[in-house]
Chain A
Amino acid sequence: MRRALLALLLAAASLTACSADEPFRILAGSEVADLEPLLKESGLDVEFTYTGTLDGAEQVARGDAGDYDATWFSSNRYLSLIDGARERLSTQTKIMNSPVVLGLKPAKAAELGWDGKPVTWSDIATAAAAHRFTFGMTNPASSNSGFSALVGVAAALSDAGEALDAGTIASVTPRMKEFFSAQRLTAGSSGWLAEAYTARPDVDGLVNYESVLLGMRDDLTLVYPSDGVVSADYPLTLLASSSRREQYDTLVAWLRTPETQRKIMTATHRRPIVPGVAPAPEFGSAALVELPFPNRRSAADQLIAAYLNDVRVPARAMYVLDTSGSMEGDRIESLRAALVTLTGADTSAYGTFSRFRNREQVALRPFSDHPKGQQDYEIPTSNPESVLAQIKSYAESLSADGGTAIYDALRAAYEQKVDSGRYSSIVLMTDGENTDGTEYLDFQLYYQALPAEQKAVRTFVVLFGDSDADEMNQVAKLTGGAVFDARNGSLAEAFKEIRGYQ
């Protein structure tokens, strides 16, 4: 009897929002991380977990977001295109707005004559093709700002008045190639891109959210293309599986008070969404035309694929991989699996976009106390399957033995000639401390003496097993890379995430 009563009460508790002590859990894009401090003022206990836009969208669509009450990405547009995703969502409420635009160093904007008169994406593409400026942008498969920019550029350059479809995307690809030939910097997240940009004086500007551009330390001249933009509208979205409607309503109501809207505007440079809250002068007075966004999943996916396979500056991805004796067993198995994931084995959209792309060069450099092989592949412009299969079979043949000479191996990777027509980067994966060969300090001196073009090659470090986290952080910092921690997670996930930076 008592047990039955308890069961009834438990069932009731899970239906009604009884767990008032529990935080309100939000699965969010990293783009809204800057709002976390402000939300402390809401009086609600809100807990954020961050994920990539596409990855998060698929998680929700699959029904794997049951631990969360709400999502908060910069846009729900891609998510809504996935079959079955809409049913997972309950109420959506837009909180703020930020268009994706081009920010340029003021001198460059003046030189191009873009600091006062209307400029179109077509003008921008023409200047890019003529090598008159360079820019950075996030990877459209990893980050919403990159995806929005891609949609905007494609829609504007296509000269079509309606939403993009397969035919339009194919015909606009050559023009997009011109535009993106000027891209010198890519990233998996908008925040990291902004940081990386400040260390690269040779890059003239960024395509990013207006909010990020206005928040940069050094002033940028913002170019609002007169033929249109794509904006993020940051819908806070209650998940249909959540029982926390009341907290959601409270949070949304608080976020949309004129006072909070003004605070958001001041603190994060995003435009208020609530009618009647006057936008700050920093947003300028140009009327922004919003470009149509694709309404078919196939068109969105085709656009991303076209960017990765045909349009972008092709990548050269070097993998410096620890296959020393300590990798024996599960670890080497994880490494094999992680590489195989990138050859097309993962068929989710996120996984598909993470695979090695057409035209990409992939260099695998396994090492122990000595280099254990040099495998170089180039994925052809079409029919990539056979080369991907070669990479897969090589990855599956990796074996673990010997000591660990990290810096000898990393140095060997930096010795490679840099191809200026490619976007080169290094992934360093190691599961332990350096036991053989040169030390970190030797590498540091070596790196600092490198010519600029080789120095521009970033090293993205994957922590795994018993990595020396401090030293690995130094490597990432020295080379302008970043650290990805797979010690408590999956190596494959880390490898996929890094794809956004390659």
Chain B
Amino acid sequence: MRRRLLGVALAVLLTGGVVAALVLGNLGSGVTVVRGVIGSEKKPFFDDPQVKAAFAKHGLQVEVDTAGSREIAGSVDLSTYSFAFPSSAPAAEKIKKERGVAATFAPFFSPMAVATFEPIVATLTQAGVVSGTTFDIKKYLEIVDKGTRWDALPGSAYKARKRVLLTTTDIRTSNSAAMYLALTSYVANGDDVVTGADTQVAERVAPLFLDQGYSESTSEAPFEDYLAMGMGKTPMIMVYEAQYAARLFANDGTIGPQMRLLYPSPTVLSKHTLVPFDENANKVGRLLTDDPEFARLAARHGFRTADPGVFAGLAKGTPLTRDLVDVVEPPTYDHLEQLVALIEERYL
């Protein structure tokens, strides 16, 4: 350990100038480093060399750490970051309030969607859950209530004894699961937004999460399983439309011929909202929101932006829908939080 410290000290003396520059958040070549903590689904966007180049044109280098959106709004120490970029408006609202931030940026959004496979679509169509590309949440909840297994569904090509359950991330940490809770709780609450700690609703929707068993804390990991491991591991999964769309637009062969995207009815929009803590972050936020170059890059990563034409242009000829119908509002952060807390209790 002592040897390590000595090495550090030497390195510091040798590169003192650079370090001093780093302390000031500047690499010395006129590039400003801006660090943010973001939901994992936006990591490929920030890692994209073209996005990096676009930021560089404005003298910015954006470095990101990933965490679940609920972690960003709760447990992550935000003091080392210039901005937080959770995947939902309610989480951003909470951070905004706590940190006393004046204005936030909502440069892109994505509806929640269901990624699945053709044989599953066929089976669920027969079961009345799917019609066309619409995934009926009400019918789905009825199936979950009954504890139905895949091998018990008539004509099921997926002969697993597992329960019919959408794969989600961990409701205790991640935004995509919270968005899923927003739309299922709406249905469980008699087609109305939940406005408090409703134990009846919590009881109905808790099995959607708990009965899956272990779930991951970020939305990229299970989606990758879906892509790489296929139907056996993940017959159907709740995703951001952007995750699927980005793969389609990249045309990289990862969306196989059997893969399908369905839109839940109702769905909710995940409004990716940047909460800036300093002026550099404001600059990042403005660029993402106003600069057409970033809008174009964001659309290529599957996000919908203020100008619907950008996304629609790319989506033409794909199974992605241009117009979203049956979109409901998520509950406020506190109400959603209360509902999550009621479910969280059941993990103990």
Residues on A lying within 8 angstroms of B by beta carbon are 6, 8-10, 12-14, 16, 18-22, 67, 77, 80-81, 86-87, 90-92, 94, 97, 156, 159, 161-164, 226-228, 231, 233, 235, 245, 271-277, 287-296, 298
Contacts and interface: CB of A to CB of B under 8 A. Distances in A.
B75 to A, nearest CB: 6
A94 B221 contact: yes
Interface string B237-278: 000000000010000111000000000000000000000000
Contacts of B65: 90-91, 245
Interface string B152-196: 000000011111010000000100000000000000000000000
A86 B217 contact: yes
Contacts of B254: 275-276
B295 to A, nearest CB: 26
B15 interface: yes
Interface stretch (B4-12, B128-136, B297-305, B330-338): B4-12
Nearest to A97: B229
Contacts of A87: 75
Nearest to B165: A162
Given A245-B65, A292-B213, A292-B214, A275 B163 contact: no
B7 to A, nearest CB: 6
Interface stretch (B17-25, B82-90, B319-327): B17-25
Interface-centre pick from A90, A92, A272, A290 (highest chain B CB count, 10 A): A290
B162 A287 contact: no
5 contacts: A19-B11, A21-B7, A22-B4, A164-B213, A291-B162
Contacts of B23: 8, 12
Nearest to B1: A67
B348 interface: yes
Contacts of A296: 347-348
A225 to B, nearest CB: 11
B213 A276 contact: no
Contacts of B231: 287
Contacts of A20: 11
B12 A18 contact: yes
Interface residues of B, number: 56
Contacts of A273: 224, 228
B221 A18 contact: no
Contact of A287 (B20, B71, B232): B232
B162 A9 contact: no
Contact of B232 (A14, A92, A288, A295): A288
Contact of B66 (A13, A91, A226, A274): A91
Nearest to B18: A18
Contacts of A16: 19, 22
Nearest to B14: A18
Contacts of B227: 275
A166 to B, nearest CB: 12
B162 A292 contact: yes
Nearest to A277: B228
A442 to B, nearest CB: 47
